[in-house]
Amino acid sequence: MKRFLLAYLALVALAWGWALALPGAGAAPLNAWALREHALTLTGLWSFALMSLAMVLAMRPARLEGVFGGMDRIYRAHKWAGILAIGFAALHWTVELADGLIKTLVGRDGRLAREHGSDLFEAMRDLGEEFGEIAVYALVAMLVLTLWKRFPFRLWRYAHKIMPVLYLMLAFHAAFLAPIGYWTQPVGVLLGLLIACGSAASIHALAGWIGRSRRSAGVIESVAEPAPGLTRVRCRLDAAWPGHRAGQFAFVTFDRVEGEHPFTIACADRGDRRVTFEIKALGDYTRGLARRLQPGARVTVEGPYGRFNLAPGDVGRPQLWVAGGIGITPFLAWLESLQDAPAQAPDADLYYCVRSRDDDPFVSRLEALTRTLPSVRLHVLSSAQGERLDARRLGARAPERAQPAIWFCGPRGLRATLARELAAAGLAGIRVRHEAFDMR
């Protein structure tokens, strides 16, 4: 993702530099005023390009899952594009305010002449400036709320709904404040494209159309609480549901006021449009969920999304599967889907890290599912019994010749431990495919 964002920024800088390199464009002497102007246009372009990208990615473009490696990664790219966009917007605003400082330090000499147009154009420019100022303050406030993890996610989600409106204000600002000469250059074509795509995405978001074509209605068939803090919900969906691949997830709405939450579909697809979710109480809404859900109630499921799927090419390759807590859900779906075709099961070691093996609601099910799959070995690591995921275990299990494919789903801390222990086991540098459960 880092490389993608850097390449994107480089492309924007190239288009900006192209306009600058044209004969006559850089004719003004390179003084403090000219430098300010260049900094203003480049930070503005970077900020707007990233904001446009964030808007487009917020549309949940399932077609881009292959490029990014899943919808969870698309969300991550959306988040970082947004954070960087706000950073550049703040810089852009700071450069704008540097006007007074430059005047004090070097005076007005060498100041670039302001472009002028018709009265209507000037009025639009003034309005664009106002919009830009309001938007930048609102964006910085939004960034603070995003990074302040203690701010309740539910409230954050409502506040976040203002983003398409802020984007449209920024698009107006960009359209009227970009140098007029840009519109005959590649940078103008790029800017036009960004405004068009980002505005279309904003209108789509404001109309509530995000994910509309992937939504299915359904009913809750059963609700259970197999262990304290765990809700198991089985739903039957309508004919619009396209089916899923083991390991995918969906955005589930049990309650319209609460809105959607992403959950892995923790079962195999049997072609009967039934999906099961195993939901751990990890926050305000998921706490006590089993008591609030009733069989027969309506549910909306949007998806399926995600690329946490065993591909046919993976099957011949030895595997290390590592799950922490509720991160076991995609592996449950994999194991279930392999029940009908045990010969297709890869040579895999599944490490399931839990607090206490004796109280865990999934251990007996995993044991039953792996019993019929001789090539899949289950290792339950119970921290209550002092068992930890370590290099010795991973190294001993890692096949000597072939590099294993490593899949991980679980908390961030466990992922860091896995990376450390893999390095200690001489398996550093192997890509670990993981599902990001934390999108904020």
Determine if 291 is a binding residue for ligand FAD (CB under 6 A).
no
In the beta sheet, which residues pair with residue 275? Answer: 235
Q: Which of 14, 92, 86, 91 is nearest to 50 (CA)?
A: 86
Give least dist CB 262 to ligand FAD, A: 4
The residue among 78 and 173 lying less far from ligand FAD, judged by its C-beta, is 78
Determine if 194 is a binding residue for ligand FAD (CB under 6 A).
no
The residue among 72 and 421 lying less far from ligand FAD, judged by its C-beta, is 72
User: Encoding tokens for residue 130?
Assistant: 């106002």
Q: How far apart are CA 348 and CA 390, in angstroms?
A: 17
CA geometry: angle at 165 spanning 9 and 305, to 5°? 65
Q: Cis omega before residue 411 (within 30°)?
A: no
The residue among 152 and 295 lying less far from ligand FAD, judged by its C-beta, is 152
- Residue reference for tokens 């089993």: 290
Q: Which one of 47, 52, 216, 264 is in contact with ligand FAD (CB under 6 A)? A: 264
Q: Which one of 261, 307, 415, 434 is in contact with ligand FAD (CB under 6 A)? A: 261
Determine if 154 is a binding residue for ligand FAD (CB under 6 A).
yes
Q: How far apart are CA 149 and CA 361, in angstroms?
A: 29
CB-nearest residue to ligand FAD:
283
- Binding segment for ligand FAD (CB under 6 A), chosen from 91-99, 127-135, 171-179, 431-439, is 431-439
Q: Which one of 127, 282, 391, 430 is in contact with ligand FAD (CB under 6 A)? A: 282
Determine if 65 is a binding residue for ligand FAD (CB under 6 A).
no
Q: Which one of 33, 48, 131, 263 is in contact with ligand FAD (CB under 6 A)? A: 263
224, 232 contact by CB (below 8 A): yes
Q: How many of the other CB atoms lie within 10 Å of CB of 22?
A: 11
Instruction: Considering only residues 315 through 334, tell me which ones interact with ligand FAD, judged by CB under 6 A.
Output: 326, 329
- Binding segment for ligand FAD (CB under 6 A), chosen from 21-29, 210-218, 255-263, 336-344, is 255-263
Determine if 280 is a binding residue for ligand FAD (CB under 6 A).
yes
Give least dist CB 1 to ligand FAD, A: 16
Q: What is the dihedral of CA 336, 341, 344, 348, to 10 degrees?
A: 30
The residue type found at 336 is E
User: Encoding tokens for residue 198?
Assistant: 């980002």
Q: Which one of 48, 88, 167, 249 is in contact with ligand FAD (CB under 6 A)? A: 249
Rg (CA), the chain: 26
The residue among 79 and 420 lying less far from ligand FAD, judged by its C-beta, is 79
CA geometry: angle at 199 spanning 197 and 204, to 5°? 95
Determine if 262 is a binding residue for ligand FAD (CB under 6 A).
yes
3 state DSSP class of 381 = strand
Give least dist CB 416 to ligand FAD, A: 18
Determine if 435 is a binding residue for ligand FAD (CB under 6 A).
yes
Determine if 269 is a binding residue for ligand FAD (CB under 6 A).
no
Q: How many residues bind ligand FAD (CB under 6 A)?
A: 25
Q: How far apart are CA 197 and CA 201, in angstroms?
A: 6
Q: What is the DSSP letter of 276?
A: E
The residue among 81 and 195 lying less far from ligand FAD, judged by its C-beta, is 81
DSSP 213-260: GGEEEEEEEEEEEEETTEEEEEEEE-TT-----TT-EEEEES-TTT--
The residue among 317 and 433 lying less far from ligand FAD, judged by its C-beta, is 433
Q: Which residues bind ligand FAD (CB under 6 A)?
A: 72, 153-154, 249, 260-264, 266, 278-280, 282-286, 326, 329, 435, 437-440
